[in-house]
Amino acid sequence: MKNQQRFFIVLVSIFIFLLVYSPHINYPFPFHIDEWHHITEAIKLGEGDYSGGGIGYRIGFHVFLLGLSYFVNLISMYQFLPAIWAVFTGLVLFYVVYKKTDNYWIALFSMIFFASLKSNVNIEGLWFFTSLTFSIPFIFLYVFFFTEGIEKQNKKQILMSLAIMAFLVPVHSISVLFAIPFLFVYCLFHLAYVKKEWKFFSLFFIIPILGIMLYSLLNHLSFLKSIGSILGDLQFKKGWGVLEINNSFFEIYSLIGYLFAFLGVYSIWRVREFRKYLAYLLWPVFTLVSILIFKMTGISFLAPYQRIFYYLAISLPFLSAFGLYYLLNLKDNFIMNSSIRDKEYAKKFISMVIIMLTVLFAVYSYYELPEQLKVYHLIEQKDYDSLRFLENKSSGKLMAPVDISMASYAVSGKMPVGAMYFYGNRTKTEEFFSSGNCRFMNEVINQQKVKYVLSEKPIDCNWNLIYNETNLIYSVNNVSS
């Protein structure tokens, strides 16, 4: 690879970092409720107080965060993790596409279209560092190694794919499950090889066995009972997500990205390379079918509808890159057959204009989000400072507003009575702060065994005030009802 080509890779990597990091320029804390949840569980894992249950299906991601916390301050570093991981994922995508196509420009264009993927709090996306975004580069890798291994009958590559899938089971299992339908259909096109090596391919039963074992462990069920329970749990009905809305396809990708993806499919068909890129054509088709099934039945199989929606998005940059490259080739052919004198200069200049306009239109609506899907701030600096004050105080439960409570354990080590989601009794917390009745609040404090109350406004209930900055913190253990 030439130095100029390396320079463009670095340039696009910087572009990805700046674009994904941009929402954090004026906000140094994690955005998404899931991010705070993962930080909390990673800390609890390190302290031997892991929640298990449903969150245990992400234990691999929490192990990663826990290991990272030994080297950096996880909360202050978290603002950079989405952008850093997006760059890493972009480079993995470049590697996969370059190896698959042997075409530098298609690989580079894939990175650009990948950067343009949109994010919101419902679908998630690159703005947030969660188990979903952590899994994306590994999805690209296992699909690549699996398909390349079958096409070239290379067992080593197939085993690499198997290893990555097995790794993802305790990290984000649905990032493997969603691909089963299109990879199964892909295998049908290579049925002779699969049948010939059926003993070797039976190794892939390791994936469901690992999944069932993890499910059994977390739910305290026998292996056989887990099988029946899992079949039910893999039907994600409407209402699974905190927010259920009728999502637009333009929430995840740009119009020009879609247009180039269609052009990319046409270019692959035109040069009769459907078989070579079959898996990358089946991927968006099967995710679209899953979305359609959910729209018709209210049930999404193997993975939640919101996640399927994003799996569709990450399948498109590859096809869009094909489309852009095809357009540039058409332009070159037109120029070569024209009467333009300096054809080489014209080709380079027009290529530059087309690429710049493509980037512009790809990110034009990057920050346009539906009102209910915009990023939110669970805490501000004043809330962080208040929680840090409690960090070195004696242990005890904290009563704080539900949004601040999401960051409570991660920052202060104090479990909240009720957070916005995942932890405790949200309703009880909201009733506490809305009541204004000291007797009721004291009863809640005693029932919930609260030791500290963090409030944004003064509470005149004769509690011991121990912190009086922008927020107020009271010591309230053993108060009189």
**pLDDT of amino acid 323:** 93
What is the C-alpha separation between 240 and 54, in angstroms, rounded?
A: 13
Six-digit token string for 63: 């192990």
What is the C-alpha separation between 161 and 178, in angstroms, rounded?
A: 15
Angle between helices 104-115 and 343-363 (to 10 degrees): 30
Helical segments of 70-130, H only: 74-77, 81-101, 104-115
DSSP 242: S
Six-digit token string for 441: 């609040």
Q: What is the value of pTM for the model shown?
A: 0.90
**pLDDT of amino acid 233:** 65
The torsion region of residue 220 among left (phi > 0), alpha (psi -120 to 50) and beta comes to left
Kindly list the distances between the CA atom of residue 53 and the CA atoms of 131, 177, 350, 451, in Å, as whole numbers in the listed order.
Answer: 16, 19, 56, 27
pLDDT profile of the chain (481 residues), mean per 10: 86 95 92 90 85 67 92 92 96 96 94 94 89 95 94 92 92 89 91 86 81 69 65 68 71 92 90 84 92 83 84 95 91 74 77 90 87 82 91 87 91 88 84 86 87 89 87 80 56
Give the domains, in start order, of the chain with CATH numbers. 3-27+79-196+234-373 (no CATH), 381-475 (3.40.50.12610)
Which residue from 289, 13, 308 is spatially nearest to 132, judged by alpha carbons?
A: 308
How, if at all, do strands 464-468 and 472-475 pair?
Answer: antiparallel
List strands edge to edge, sheet with 472-475: 397-399, 450-455, 472-475, 464-468
Q: Which residues contact 362 (CB under 8 A, 6 or more apart)?
A: 112, 113, 116, 254, 256, 257
Summarised one tens digit per residue, pLDDT across range 21-31 is: 999 999 999 98
DSSP 300: E
Which residue from 303, 274, 269 is spatially nearest to 289, judged by alpha carbons?
A: 303
Angle at 356 between CA 355 and CA 360, to 5 degrees: 115
The continuous run of DSSP H or E covering 465 comes out as: strand 464-468
**pLDDT of amino acid 226:** 65
Which residue from 133, 365, 366, 122 is spatially nearest to 246, judged by alpha carbons?
A: 122
The torsion region of residue 48 among left (phi > 0), alpha (psi -120 to 50) and beta comes to left
DSSP 340: -
The torsion region of residue 413 among left (phi > 0), alpha (psi -120 to 50) and beta comes to left
What is the C-alpha separation between 57 and 125, in angstroms, rounded?
A: 19
How big is the chain by its Cα radius of gyration, in Å?
26
Name the residue type at position 434: S
